[in-house]
């Protein structure tokens, strides 16, 4: 099976010769200090930044204008991606209606997708602003998946969540990112990466300087904090 995402020799702005893959069923965390180029790399994948090198999605090299097909991006404020004046169920059903699915069928499928991400019928009838940040993340994920996204790109999804909500979100992402889906997640949080069961790619100075299991990253961070005591 082809990799969901293959980046080869990517150079753009602060990035230099970045090579990275995300396989079906895999979650890769992109970690590194501020200014390392994490957001720029996401923008390259989305075709928003011109870059030298090769970007392949589902085994096909794609020009920038064609990179959104099968790809969903969720920023830190997931609620901002949702239609503010629509009930949650209608917001999730919208990609199906755009694709030509009749309204009644789209709403039924949206209801099922919301159950899959842990939301109730009552929550499905609310407006996005009436939900918590963690619930809005779940709605945005349901909308992305129902719209056919196979590669999820997430920017610091746990940054505004408490620990319990972040752990629950990680469990949901593990479920959603079973093959054939996968995810590339920007995060500074080793504990969240461990909960994701992720491989971590460390980006520093525009280069991938190391790749390791999240557990190894978390152990090093813990030793660093202990050395300060």
Shared domain for 65 and 170, answered yes or no, is yes
Residue 76 maps to a domain: no
For residue 43, the enclosing domain spans 1-70+150-229
59 and 163 assigned to the same domain: yes
The residues, ordered by sequence, that sit 6+ positions from 117 with a Cβ below 8 Å of its Cβ are 138, 139, 141, 142, 172, 176
| Per-residue model confidence (pLDDT) at position 136 | 93
Q: Are residues 8 and 48 in the same domain?
A: yes
**pLDDT, position 229:** 62
pLDDT at 61: 94
Q: Which pLDDT does position 1 carry in this prediction?
A: 64
pLDDT tens, the chain, 229 aa long: 689 999 999 999 889 999 999 999 999 999 999 999 999 999 999 999 999 999 999 999 999 999 988 999 998 888 888 998 999 999 999 999 999 999 999 999 999 999 999 999 999 999 999 999 899 999 999 999 999 999 999 999 998 888 999 999 999 999 999 999 999 999 999 999 999 999 999 999 999 999 999 999 999 888 877 776 6
Using a 10 angstrom Cβ sphere, with 0-12 exposed, 13-18 middle and 19 or more buried, the burial of residue 116 is middle
- Amino acid 78: pLDDT: 81
The residue out of 92, 117, 149 marking a domain boundary is 149
Flag whether 91 is in a domain. yes
Look at residue 75 and tell me if it is in a domain: no
Report pLDDT for 224. 78
Q: Are residues 159 and 218 in the same domain?
A: yes
Residue 14, domain CATH: 3.40.50.300
- CA-CA distance, 81 to 71, in Å (whole number)? 14
* Boundary of a domain, candidates 149, 182, 197: 149
- pLDDT given for residue 103 in this prediction: 93
Structural domains counted in the chain: 2
Q: What integer pLDDT is reported at residue 79 of this predicted model?
A: 80
The domain boundary, picked from 96, 124, 149, lies at 149
Token pair of 122 as six digits = 């009552």
Provide the CB-side half-sphere exposure for 120 (13 A, CA): 3
Count of CA atoms in the C-beta half-sphere (13 A) of 59: 3
Same domain assignment for residues 90 and 51: no
The answer to whether residue 22 sits within a structural domain is yes
């Amino acid at each position: 099976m082809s990799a969901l995402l293959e980046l080869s020799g990517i150079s753009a702005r602060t990035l230099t010769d970045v090579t990275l893959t995300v396989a079906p069923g895999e979650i890769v965390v992109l970690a590194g200090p501020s200014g390392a180029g994490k957001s720029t790399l996401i923008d390259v994948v989305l075709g928003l930044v011109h870059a030298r090198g090769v970007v392949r999605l589902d085994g096909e090299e794609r020009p920038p204008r064609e990179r959104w097909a099968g790809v969903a991006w969720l920023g830190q404020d997931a609620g901002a991606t949702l239609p503010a004046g629509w009930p949650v169920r209608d917001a999730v059903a919208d990609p199906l209606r755009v694709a030509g699915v009749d309204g009644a069928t789209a709403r039924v499928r949206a209801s099922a997708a919301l159950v899959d991400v842990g939301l109730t019928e009552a929550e499905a009838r609310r407006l996005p602003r009436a939900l918590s940040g963690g619930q809005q993340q779940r709605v945005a994920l349901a909308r992305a998946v129902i719209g056919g996204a196979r590669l999820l790109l997430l920017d610091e999804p746990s940054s505004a969540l408490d620990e319990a909500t972040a752990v629950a979100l990680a469990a949901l992402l593990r479920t959603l990112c079973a093959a054939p889906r996968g995810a590339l997640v920007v995060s500074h949080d080793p504990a969240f990466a461990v909960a994701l069961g992720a491989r971590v790619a460390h980006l520093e100075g525009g280069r991938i300087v190391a790749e390791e299991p999240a557990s190894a990253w978390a152990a090093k961070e813990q030793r660093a904090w202990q050395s300060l005591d």
